[in-house]
Structure 1
Amino acid sequence: MYKVLLVDDESLVLKSLEAGIDWKKSGFYVAGKANNGVKALQLVKELKPHVVFTDIRMPGISGLELIKKIKELDSTIQIIVISGYAEFAYVQKSLNYGVLGYCLKPFDDYEIDMLLNTASKAVEEIKQKRESYLLELFEEYTTDNSQSTFLTILSEEGLTAEALHVVVSIGKGKLCFNENAKYIAINIGSARSGYIVQCPNLDSMLSTDASLIPEGIQGIGIAQAARNMNSIMKSMEKATIKAWDFFIHGRKNVFIDHDDIKDDKAHQMMKQLEKAISNKDSALLQAKLDEMLIVENKQSLSILDALKIHNIVTFYASTDHSSSPKEEYIFSKEQLNTLFHSFESMIESLKKLIKDLEKSDSLQNESKTYNASLREVIKYINEHYRNDISIQSISKNFYLNPNYLSQLFKRELDVTFTEYLTTVRLQEAKGLLRSTGLTIGEIADQIGFRDYFYFIRLFKKHVQLTPKQYRNQDKPEARKVHSKPHSEDRS
């Protein structure tokens, strides 16, 4: 919801404007009202409204003076002039000051709705520019300059408290916060949003009522953060991990990260699982997997535990224990959810894997006629690398054993499955960086990376440059140190 400030020296006009418009329908709410220019400027500083409706002629500070001072404070605030026919000459003059538009008294609801629609688009464009700039700051190594710019952006949005929260939502849709909360939203991946939030009361910051959370949201994670860039980035990762706990505990839940709470029960269950594996006791292993589905046991587990459970059982089922079956491991939370959709489904799949292992013969005697299948697999990867694909999902599609397919990649191509897929994706990323104006986030999404920060880290590791540095490496301006943007560019 965007904030509106109403300014007019006639109280009846203020009441009429506030009561006569369906603000919520257009995504706005009236955050404050002022009957003179001095009070209006004070509220602009306190409330940081997105839109100001102001009369053009008022005693003391006139509407024109107020517009100039508001634009000096924050050029991104959208201003709509309200006036009578007699002041139309002043209205025309105000257009030179960068106002969005004007509406004449008596008010026309349709006219104001159109102006609010225009204002909403302008505010959204400003937010997208700010979001893009913040992501660029996160991409680079933290410097004094980037830290200063980052803190300036927080201050401009009213986030001045030393203790903040980072909220991450998984799924499509935007979260709504309490009206007292101040926040900056960032698109941090495909169907994933991050929010830097300042709110006096954590319990009231975000409604935990599932019916008020957008239908497309699957999970929400919250982590505390200090007011600096490194802390915000670390908390973004923590909140993301917590948001993925919906895979264990169900969708639309809110999960809060508590650094000081360690769950011994989860640790004990993992040790028991590993003991069953070291003893090669299939019956005990299946029993321990069943125990993890008991409600009080499941409550202790996280998405990271689910990944670990999958991978250690996969190792147990591997036919070649002389080398770690890394290709069969799942390190991506997205892949885990794409393959199984729920913790219960994953456990049932692992139990079936153990049963099948007991029945099957060793793959050492398997025919090497799968080489023809490998060509089909390569073709499939080259055509579908944008999707959430893994060696498990491809094995299902081609009716191959994941362990054998992993060995086949290494033997025939001298690379692992993951190395091949990563090479294909990064080559496409390089091409898009060079030939398009797509944002880094859009490119990450197009080549199959749902996590913006993971893509940045992987690109740096393989290319020794950030995506932005790679895109600009032949441009002279790429060697210049970024300076703080002008107020009109900061958003």
Structure 2
Amino acid sequence: MHKVLIVDDESWVVESLKDLVDWNSYGFEVVGQAYNGVDALEAMRVHQPDVVFTDIRMPEMNGLELLQRGKSLPFPIHFVVVSGYAEFAYAQKAISYGAIAYCLKPFDEMEISGILLKLNKTLNAAKPSLDSSLIHLLEDPNAENQLKLQDELKKYDIKDWNTAGIVVVVSVGSESLPDIYERVIKLKIGTSKTAYLLNSRQSEALRRKWTDELPIGVMGIGVSEKITDLKEIKIAIANADLLAHQFFVTRETGAYYPQAFKYNELNQQMMEMSHAVRDRDNKAVNRIFEHIEVLFKEKALTIQHAFQVYNMTVSFLFKLGQTENILYSYEQLLQSYKHVFDMLDELRSLAKRYLQASDSHSLETKNQAFNSILQFVTLNFREDISLQNLSDQFFMNPSYISQLFKKEVGETFTAYIAKLRINYACELLDKDESSVHEIAEKIGYHDYFYFTRLFKKITGKTPSQYRNDEH
């Protein structure tokens, strides 16, 4: 059974949530409850719950602070934030702080049941192997944990680690590495990621093997520098993890080893990007993108830098705080783009559309909640988005969202989506060799004839006429 802690400053809320669903039938048991953030933090240390349901507004320590402090504990916790205040700002902060869900009071049985189903699946998939219990030793490198780590290394016959050294190997993919036959410490660090601690001699032998052929089912392997200080293991895992994702940059599966990356050069380019966006200088933005693309082609940057480029560019365009609006994780980048150059193409197109837009006032309004909706629509206009989707996503009435579009943007939601799609279709017709039918599919229209009628209504030309005129 997965353990649950419920936190709310009103006891009747705690009891109503406990009685709402049959927790055991979903694989959970409520092991404790707390009525303020301070007591909740102590209860988390005692019970080590898998999941915490917490209210946002509480005395002494609110739910968002509890979430932040809970994330620093040496064991993983999934947070579900609940509130009686239907304000997107709370949901946005909760998700950016690491909450996996946000729901409103009074509780809906179907909503809570759905969350528990997803959580049960996630927790079962991430169930640690026997060796993964060692992860908490790496989180807090105190003297006691150092001694425990030394005992584990002896147990796995990793000898002379303090002189010969330890190497961390991280693999990304659906399969574990089949080539490691000797005893090693194996840590499951993600759904499709595994870290291995092994002696440097074994890593050298495997290096030659992986250079010739990567194991089936493995997309990337990252190998850290040799370390002789156990306090450095956590950093070595992070470095090997970055290298294991280098296939996102190189467009090739393979094993990757430590090298010098051009951090400072990218930082300089992103500083110039902020100035170019501020000045609405599209030529400068394109020049910066070209420079960044060269850095990636030289394999001088990592997926961490791709993550940085994506978030900072979107932040510049939408004037959002970088620290509170984390838009993607590495895994989301991999799900959204085949490689970093696909990502750069989309960012370049996004920047062009907004820097050249005559109605730039529509990118930012006085209504902060609506700005978040506008940002979401602008980034996802090719998807099948409806007012109901937005209502579910941002906890607002669909009719109210519709009114906001007319008030803040000056046109209906449908008209705004159509304008974004047709503008993007114009870009594709100008530079893409795809057929008109394929372009219609790319921008979210599956009815070719509807697309052509809409295109002519907005541009005054059919798609074919537009392409011929541009060429």
Q: TM-score, normalised by structure 2?
A: 0.46
Question: Computing the radius of gyration over CA atoms, which structure comes out larger, 1 or 2?
Answer: 1
Q: TM-score, normalised by structure 1?
A: 0.44
Which fold has the larger relative contact order, with Cα–Cα distance below 8 Å and residues 6 or more apart in sequence? 1
